[in-house]
């Protein structure tokens, strides 16, 4: 195998590994927002936000909600 092919395979393998690591962290949640909305709705059910927030800190807001100005 020539040195150029070996370098190309190593570099391609590195790029593939980085892409495979970023998919579940970044791209999957970006493509499945509705699933995450449902999970957060269930997780926050029955929680009084004012009771769990430290004094002086803004109360939680929906990160999926787009604000209209």
pLDDT tens digits for range 4-26 = 999 999 999 999 999 999 999 98
Burial of 6 (0-12, 13-18, 19+ CB in 10 A): exposed
Average pLDDT for 21-42: 90
pLDDT of 52 reads 80
> In angstroms, rounded to a whole number, what is the distance separating the alpha carbons of residues 41 and 2?
55
With residues binned 3-state (H G I as helix, E B as strand, rest as coil), the percentages for the chain, rounded to 5, are 65, 0, 35
pLDDT of 41 reads 86
Mean pLDDT for all residues in the chain:
85
pLDDT of 66 reads 65
- Token pair of 46, please? 């029955």
pLDDT of 49 reads 78
């Amino acid at each position: 195998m020539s040195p150029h092919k070996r370098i190309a395979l190593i570099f391609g393998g590195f790029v593939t590994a980085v892409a495979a690591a970023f998919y579940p962290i970044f791209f999957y949640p970006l493509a499945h927002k509705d699933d995450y909305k449902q999970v957060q709705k269930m997780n926050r059910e029955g929680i009084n936000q004012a009771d769990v927030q430290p004094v002086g800190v803004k109360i939680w807001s929906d990160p999926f909600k787009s604000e209209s100005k």
